[in-house]
Amino acid sequence: MGDQTKGAAGGAEHLGESTTGQKLDLRKRFRIKEMLIQVFLFLSGALSILTTIGIVYELGNDALNFFTRRSWENTNKPVAVSISPQTTTFDVGTGGATLREGQTIRIRNEIMEITEIEGTMISVERGLDNTEAVSHDAGTTIFIGTNVSLIEFFTSTKWNPQISQFGILPLVNATLMTSTIAMIVALPLGLSVAIYLSEYASERARGFIKPTLEVLAGIPTVVYGYFALTFMTPILRTVFGRDVVSIYNTASAGIVIGILILPLVSSISEDALSAVPRSLREAAYAIGATKLETAVKVVLPAAFSGISAAFIVAISRAIGETMIVAIASGASPNFTFNPFKPAETMTGHIVRISGGDLSYDSIDYNSVFAIGLMLFFMTLILNMISQRVVRRFREVYE
Amino acid sequence: MSLDYISDLESEAEEKFERIGEFELNTGRRHGISRLWFFIFRASTVFGIIVLAALLLNISNNAFGYVVVLNQVEPETLAVDGVPLEELPKEAMVEIFASNVSSGLYRRFDNEKPFAERSRQDVLNLVEDWVINPQVERTWSLYESLFMRQQISTEFENNFEHGELVFRSWVSSEFFTSPQSAEPEQAGVRTAILGSLWMITITILFAFPTGVAAAIYLEEYASDNFFNRIIQTNINNLAGVPSIIYGLLGLAIFVRLLEPFTSGAAFGQTIDAATANGRTILSAGLTLGLLILPLIIINAQEAIRAVPSTIRQASYGIGATRWQTVWNHVLPSAISGILTGTILAISRAVGETAPLVVIGASTFITIDPSGPFSKFTALPIQVYQWTVRPQAEFRNIAAAAIIVLLILLLSLNTSAVWLRNRFGRRL
């Protein structure tokens, strides 16, 4: 063994001498080019982390602006006496709305916080939020500042930021309606297609059907929106009557979203079904099970993890779907459970509001991000559940 | 006792025999159910195909059909001294144009480009668009045009004294070459196609190298530690984030935060009417790039993973470095898979609408985009804009624009298949 090493080293020495006249150095060299390339590769990989941080930070930041933003309400209560920049306790009289301790108030441009109330006299902290404490004349109106409260955001059923109505429920409700309708269409159909393709279809039929469904999956969603408005809605209106079904409605949008996610459900489920080993099916046939029994009682449970992942991914896709609802489900936030009435979804609202030249730092701009953040977390949680389900319930067959 | 035993056996066998009878009855029913469900499964599959057909038929139905065209001014009345309009010299045409439209409109066109500099054909087009001004008064769908011709012609004769009944294909050569217009008869998709192409170029330049690099890092370099696992999970999650969220990200970062760069101000681009603060082609391209990055990475990872490790080991065995192995052996073997995945991701980007609406693609723009810092519109944006208009003619041009979009996507997908076959190396 020692001889061999010696021989190899001798060979290298010989090679080195014959070309350069120097000893060949076989140690690992530091290569600057390789280093730079590796750094570039790493940065490209890390960009995805930056994207996520960017999404969470920007959405969170503007959503925070949305929740900390004050809207000013007129109290019809004037300051009873003239006050100087130093005054911290003054009379506000008895007229107009009642004030409470801890409230933020505004007199002209100056913002104050009420620290104490005694009868008609209030004590305040002056010049908050970088405003300057100045003197005010008697009779200047007091405004109360109100924030968007989380309770209002999640419980109120009215959404109209322009007039300080901030209940997200109508938008969430519409999103859930379209998604539910979509799932009612896509789940049974998608699963049926998957079972047919993996258990029944001949090679030739598969060769035709699978690419067709892939074409269906590759069509842009805006085209489906057009389809919903010009094909599905007229059909619904003919079937259920023109006075029952509005031109814009959640049913039409939901059905078309269902059609959109049908290839997604069927292709992921079919992959899961096909991955179940043949031996399981043959064992089932051997004990006399019919094709259906084999498919439903043996293959389907074995592919459970893949199929449930497909369902969850499909739900997340339906919730995030934008153009179909923007085109076909109406343009006013509307809290209704009637699928034939127009109702704007979260995504539809974002598209409509940001469609024009949205000015930065307006209430609309911030509200769009608050909705976006909520949408992001809804889909993120669904995606994480689906990945966990796949890992947790995967049946491994040797 | 033995007798008892035998009779026991007999009765047991009889029982079993009866059960077999039950089984047989049962089998028939079970096979019946099985067959019934087979038809249900098959019907669902057929339904999927029918929907695809309905979608395509619905679009063609609206993109072609009979229309009634009504000229505001008949071309014959514009002839001067018996010379028809088409053969008049340019000056006479300018005169006709000036005398038939409002002075404000005339000045607007003169300001845009002085009439003295305009070509004869250009002026003729202006006269045709603004003086003769053919208007579509009534449209019929393709289905009606093919099967109800009798009714169409009676309705035409009864309701329209003037005008002309013609079969119109809303997808035409003018549709490809004319810019946006407020009149559906003259509107085209040239600005939209150019906008889409510019945008996709930027998307590719950004997302392809970055995506492939990230895939190489994750597959060839990354060790199995906490940070790298986070990157992998994160990429899988990003692939499931709705596209509209990327639109919001683009709006906050590219349009607002990086405005000096995306508007071109930092590169000495003068701010004129063609630039729109940060709402430029560059912002849109980068946003779509971020959107398809996870797709490109996941596809490229799969392609790289499919390269057998023997190839790598052979390369290392003759003393190649890691990068030499990747560049000379792994990438050439994986390239067809990477390209196929990338093209599919790009066709997704071409059809994306929501993020572009959110970052503020212009809805009405008649000037061709001239570079990455121009305002822009894109094909899917056009489809969306025209679809939501209430007038029927806009539905027709929306259908025509959809056909253009689908042709573009189809050619992209075909090239993906072609690439796979051309460069697909057998391993």
CA B277, CA B255: separation in Å to the nearest integer?
Answer: 8
CB contact under 8 A, B321 and A58: no
Count structural domains, chain B.
Answer: 3
List the single best residue of A226, A232, A260, A386 to mutate versus B (max B Cβ within 10 A): A226
User: Would you place residue A6 in the very low, low, confident or very high pLDDT band (cuts 50, 70, 90)?
Assistant: very low
Dist. CA A99–CA A170, nearest whole Å: 31
Instruction: Tell whether A26 is within 8 A of chain B (Cβ).
Output: no
Residue A262 reports pLDDT greater than 90: yes
Q: What is the pLDDT of residues A102-125, one digit of tens each?
A: 778 888 888 888 888 887 888 888
The number of angstroms, rounded, from the C-alpha of B94 to the middle of its chain's C-alpha atoms is: 40
Q: How far is B148 from chain A (nearest CA, A)?
A: 20
Give the domain range for residue B388. 190-423
Nearest-neighbour CA in chain A from B245: distance (Å): 6
Name residue A165's beta-bridge partners: A160
A11-25, A316-330, B32-46: range with lowest mean pLDDT? A11-25
pLDDT band per the 50, 70, 90 thresholds, residue B315:
very high
Among the ranges A62-66, B74-78, B263-267, which has the highest mean pLDDT value?
A62-66
If you measure CA to CA, which chain B residue comes closest to A385? B237
Pairing assessment for the beta strands B135-139 and B64-70 based on DSSP bridges: antiparallel
Q: Is the pLDDT of residue B228 over 60?
A: yes
Other C-beta atoms lying within 10 Å of the C-beta of residue A124: 26
Give the residue-averaged pLDDT of A150-157: 82
Residues 326-355, chain A, touching B (beta carbon < 8 A) = 326-327, 347, 350-351, 354-355
Tell me which of A349 and B181 has the higher pLDDT: A349
Cα nearest neighbour of B30 on chain A: A290
Q: How far apart are CA B5 and CA B11, in angstroms?
A: 10
B37 pLDDT exceeds 50? yes
Which residues, including other chains, have CB under 8 Å from residue B49's CB and lie 6 or more apart? A209, A212
What confidence score (pLDDT) does residue A279 get?
92
pLDDT of residue B143: 83
pLDDT at A4 over 50: no
Residue A346: predicted pLDDT: 92
Superfamily per CATH, domain A162-393: MetI-like (1.10.3720.10)
Give the number of A-B residue pairs with CB atoms closer than 8 Å.
Answer: 256
For every residue of B390-424, DSSP letters joined together read SSHHHHHHHHHHHHHHHHHHHHHHHHHHHHHHHHP
Would you place residue B349 in the very low, low, confident or very high pLDDT band (cuts 50, 70, 90)? very high
Confidence of residue B272 (pLDDT cuts 50, 70, 90): low
Same domain as B126, residue B19: no
Question: Which residues of chain B does A321 touch, with a Cβ-Cβ cutoff of 8 Å?
Answer: 242
Examine the domain organization and report whether B159 and B219 are in the same domain. no
Min Cα–Cα distance to chain A from B134, Å = 26
CB contact under 8 A, B44 and A188: yes
Structure confidence by residue, pLDDT tens digits, A30-43? 788 888 999 999 99
User: Residue B362's closest CA among B278, B422, B250?
Assistant: B278
Count CB atoms within 10 A of the CB of residue A360.
12
B130/chain A closest Cα distance in angstroms = 29
Distance from CA of B249 to the nearest CA of A (A): 6
Q: Which two tokens stand for residue A119?
A: 């009868």
Smallest CA–CA distance, residue A291 to chain B, in Å, is 6
Percent of chain B with pLDDT over 90: 28
Computed over every residue of chain A, the mean pLDDT equals 84
Residues B79 and B52 occupy one common structural domain = no
Say if residue A339's pLDDT is above 80. yes
| B236 lies in the same domain as B350 | yes
Strand, helix or coil for residue B303: helix
Nearest Cα of chain A lies from the Cα of B38 at a distance, in angstroms, of 7
Please indicate, yes or no, whether residues B235 and B313 belong to a single structural domain of this protein. yes
The pLDDT assigned to B268 comes to 67
Q: What pLDDT, on the 0 to 100 scale, is given for residue B295?
A: 93
Nearest to B45 among A193, A215, A221 (CB): A193
Q: With contact defined as beta carbons under 8 Å apart, do B353 and B259 qualify?
A: no
> Testing the interface with A: which of B35, B217, B291 to mutate, by most A Cβ within 10 A?
B217
Q: B242, A321: Cβ pair inside 8 Å?
A: yes
Alpha-carbon distance B207 to A326, whole Å?
Answer: 28
What pLDDT sits at residue A19? 53
Final residue belonging to a domain, choices B64, B90, B117: B64
Higher pLDDT, A206 or B89: A206
Domain final position from B177, B210, B233 = B177
Residue A49: list chain B partners with CB under 8 A: 230-231, 234
Detail the DSSP E strand segments found in A52-120: 70-78, 89-91, 104-107, 110-118
Contacting residues for B155 by C-beta, under 8 A, at least 6 apart: B138
Other beta carbons less than 10 A from residue A396's beta carbon? 4
Nearest CA of chain B to the CA of A230: how many Å? 8
pLDDT of B245 > 60? The answer is yes
CA distances for B209 relative to A94, A287, B247, angstroms: 70, 55, 22
Say how far apart CA B51 and CA A224 lie, in whole Å: 11
Largest CA distance in chain A: 108
Name the amino acid, one letter, at A94: T
Are B60 and B78 within one domain? Answer: no
Nearest one of A175, A183, A228, A205 to A346, comparing CA atoms = A175
pLDDT of the residue at B197 = 92
Do both B332 and B381 map to the same domain? yes
Q: Name the pLDDT band for B270 (thresholds 50, 70, 90).
A: low
Residues B244, A347: C-beta atoms closer than 8 Å: yes
Whether B378 is in a domain gets the answer: yes
Asked whether the predicted pLDDT for residue B405 surpasses 90, the reply is: yes
Q: What tokens were used for A37?
A: 């390339």
With a cut of 50, say whether residue B85 has pLDDT above it: yes
The pLDDT of residue B38 = 92
Q: Does the pLDDT of residue A217 top 50, yes or no?
A: yes
Burial class (CB in 10 A: 0-12, 13-18, 19+), A257: buried
CA B385 to chain centre: 14
Q: Which of B122, B152, B177 is the last residue of a domain?
A: B177
Answer yes or no: pTM beyond 0.90.
no
Contact A99, A75 (CB under 8 A): yes
Residue A395: the pLDDT is: 67
Of residues A34, A196, A288, nearest to B42 (C-beta): A196
Helices (H), B64-181: 90-100, 103-112, 120-126, 142-147, 149-159, 173-177
CA atoms of A241 and A236, how far apart (whole Å) = 8
Structure tokens at B250: 């683009």
| B280 pLDDT tier (thresholds 50, 70, 90) | confident
Q: Does residue B10 lie in a domain region?
A: yes
Task: Characterize A380-390 residue by residue with b for buried, 16 or more Cβ atoms within 10 angstroms of its Cβ, and e for exposed.
Answer: bebbbbbbebb
Q: Residues with Cβ < 8 Å from A352, sequence gap 6 or more?
A: A326, A331, A344
Question: Is position B357 within any domain?
Answer: yes
Quote the pLDDT of residue B132. Answer: 73
Nearest to B242 among A31, A188, A320 (CB): A320
Cβ contact A212:B49 at 8 Å = yes
Using a CB–CB cutoff of 8 Å, tell me whether A383 touches chain B: yes
Count Cβ atoms below 10 Å from residue A322 Cβ, excluding itself: 28
Contacts of B358 in chain A (CB under 8 A): 350-351, 354
Alpha-helical segments (H) within B306-391: 309-317, 322-325, 331-351, 354-359, 379-387
Residues B249 and B396 grouped into a single domain: yes
Does residue B265 share a domain with residue B141? no
Q: Indicate whether A8 pLDDT > 50.
A: no
Q: Any residues with CB less than 8 A from the CB of B370 and at least 6 apart, and which? A: B274
Q: Does residue B205 carry a pLDDT above 50?
A: yes
SS3 at position B113: coil
pLDDT score for B326: 93
CA A99 to chain centre: 39
pLDDT (average), residues A133-147 = 81
Burial code (b: 16+ CB inside 10 Å, e: under 16) for B202-237 equals bbbebbbebbbbbbbbbbbbbeeeeebeebbebbbb
Chain A residues in contact with B38 by the CB 8 A cut-off are: 196, 200, 291-292
Q: What distance in Å separates the CA atoms of residue A316 and residue A74, rounded to the nearest whole number?
A: 43
SS3 A127: strand
Q: Once rounded to an integer, what is the mean pLDDT over residues B144-160?
A: 79
Residue A13 predicted with pLDDT over 70: no
Which residues of chain A neighbour B291 with C-beta distances below 8 Å? none
Q: Could you tell me if B242 and B319 lie in one domain?
A: yes
Q: Verify whether the Cβ–Cβ distance B44 to A357 is below 8 Å.
A: no
Domain boundaries, chain A: 67-147, 162-393
Average pLDDT value for residue range A298-325: 91
B125, B199: one domain: no
For the cut 70, the answer to whether the pLDDT of residue B170 exceeds it is: yes
Residue A12 has what pLDDT?
A: 43
Whether residue B185 is contained in a domain is answered as no
Query: Are the CB atoms for B397 and B175 separated by under 8 Å?
Result: yes
The verdict on residue B379 lying in a domain is yes
The single-letter DSSP state of residue B277 is: T
Same domain, B97 and B227: no
Q: Rounded to a whole number, what is the largest CA-CA distance in chain B?
A: 132
**Architecture of the domain delimited by A67-147:** Beta Barrel (2.40)
Q: In chain B, which residues have their Cβ closer than 8 Å to the Cβ of A354?
A: 247, 251, 357-358, 360
For residue B354, tell me if it sits in a domain: yes
Give the residue-averaged pLDDT of B406-422: 84
**CA angle in degrees (0–180, nearest 5) for A22-A24-A29:** 125
The token duo for A283 is: 């064992």
Contacts of B45 in chain A (CB under 8 A): 192-193, 196-197, 201, 209
pLDDT of A224 over the 80 cut = yes
Taking all residues of chain B, what is their mean pLDDT, rounded to a whole number? 83
Shortest Cα–Cα distance, B58 to chain A (Å): 7
pLDDT at B41: 92
Q: DSSP secondary-structure letter at B69?
A: E
Cα dihedral angle (A255, A258, A259, A264), rounded to 10 degrees? Answer: 180
ipTM attached to this prediction = 0.83
State the DSSP H helix or E strand holding residue B68, giving kind and residue range, or none if neither: strand B64-70
Q: What are phi and psi of B216, to 5 degrees?
A: -60, -45
Residue A372 contacts B where some CB pair is shorter than 8 Å: yes
Over residues B340-369, mean pLDDT: 85
Contacts 24+ apart (CB under 8 A), A147-151: A147/A67, A147/A68, A147/A69, A147/A70, A148/A66, A148/A67, A148/A69, A150/A67
pLDDT of A216 higher than 80: yes
Q: In the predicted model, is pLDDT for residue B91 greater than 80?
A: no
Burial class (CB in 10 A: 0-12, 13-18, 19+), B263: buried
Whether the pLDDT of residue B106 is over 90: the answer is no
B113 vs A267: which has the higher pLDDT: A267
The verdict on A48 touching B (C-beta cutoff 8 Å) is yes
**Which residue in this structure is represented by tokens 């500099």?**
B117
Q: What is the pLDDT of residue A106?
A: 82
Band the pLDDT of A11: cuts 50, 70, 90: very low
Instruction: Pick from A3-12, A114-123, B305-314 the range whose average pLDDT is largest.
Output: B305-314
pLDDT at B27 over 60: yes
> Domain holding B340: CATH number?
1.10.3720.10
A161 closest CA partner among A333, A394, A325: A333
